[in-house]
Amino acid sequence: MAEHPQHVAVVTGATGGIGTAIVHRLVVGGAVVIAHYASNSDRASKLQREVWELGGTCSMVQADLRTEEGVGQLVDSVDDLLRSQPTHALHALVNNAAKLLGPSFSDATPAQFDEYFALNVKAPFFLTQRLVTRMHPGGSIVNVSSAGAHFSSPGDIVYAMSKAAIESLTMNAAEWLATRAIRINTVIPGFTDDGHIAFRIDEVREYLSTFAVLGGISDPETVAEAVAFLLSAHASRTTGATLDVSGGSTLGARPAPHLSLRALAATRSIDQPGTGGNQGAERSDEDSIVYE
């Protein structure tokens, strides 16, 4: 996006590990970023400083996207920026914020189900519906899915279902959005070191790396690069598509049977990775490990 420095990109979940990398990448590419977060105001302030150090511009917007009001607040902040900066044009939306992993088929409650779908599905749907009316022709949307939607995940069934739904959003919205010259695509990460403490534990990394046929854990920058590509003119003929950066985690490889994250969790004070990246390790039993 470097050739269009006044392009505005909205990134949800910017305080998470992957969201932060996406913001950095888009700022380096010349975008003005509206970086959304929910609760981590320390991380939000740090991200804003990092953007300034990169020589970029970024406004932080706090909103709970589980609610209609929260979605409205983010849309209003886009309107405020476009009104105050008439030379700016909304060019990109990255639906990245999510509640990660869990709950299991046996334990899920209706309230949990609603919470996952409110944040992971309903918010991207209505943000997309509302922001495309403000979007510049040639604009682009990227939805962040998960490899977990592509293999059997009874322990994370609600999360996996929500990610299947966001991929369906991509596919089903593409034709209508094309009439406005707007593209929409999905990126599929596998396990990605988002800064969660669990990724610092060798046994956890070993276990999680067995999901990918390429082995290893992804870094957030790799996901961000894929997002930037899909937003760029290099992907001008790509819409309704998925770009899999999961290291082949969607190909059906199964975790090594001698490893079990649940067993690890029983001996160590960790919960599942990817449930809040930079916020530290204090979690409730509700967030217990489900991968095994």
Ligand X SMILES: NC(=O)c1ccc[n+]([C@@H]2O[C@H](COP(=O)([O-])OP(=O)(O)OC[C@H]3O[C@@H](n4cnc5c(N)ncnc54)[C@H](OP(=O)(O)O)[C@@H]3O)[C@@H](O)[C@H]2O)c1
Would you tell me which residues interact with ligand X (CB under 6 A)? 13-19, 37-40, 64-66, 96-100, 119, 144, 146, 189, 191-192, 194, 274-277, 279
The residue (of 96 and 140) whose beta carbon lies closer to ligand X is 96
Say which DSSP state 192 is in.
B
The answer to whether residues 1 and 231 touch, using CB atoms and an 8 Å cutoff, is: yes
**Locate tokens 């996406």: which residue?**
22
Least CB distance to ligand X at residue 173 (A): 17
Q: How far is the CB of 177 from ligand X (least distance, A)?
A: 20
Q: Does the CA dihedral 169-173-178-182 come out positive or negative?
A: negative
At residue 268, what is the residue type?
R
State the minimum distance, in angstroms, from the CB of residue 279 to ligand X: 6
Q: Which lies closer to ligand X via its Cβ, residue 89 or residue 209?
A: 209
| 159 is annotated as an active-site residue | yes
The residue sitting closest to ligand X, measured at its beta carbon, is 16
Which of 37, 116, 159, 291 is flagged as catalytic?
159
Calculate the alpha carbon distances from 40 to 34, 63, 64, 231, 240 in Å: 16, 11, 11, 26, 32
CA distance 12 to 24: 13
State in angstroms the smallest separation of the CB of 273 from ligand X.
Answer: 6
Choose between 102 and 274: whose C-beta lies nearer to ligand X: 274
Task: Give the active site residues.
Answer: 159
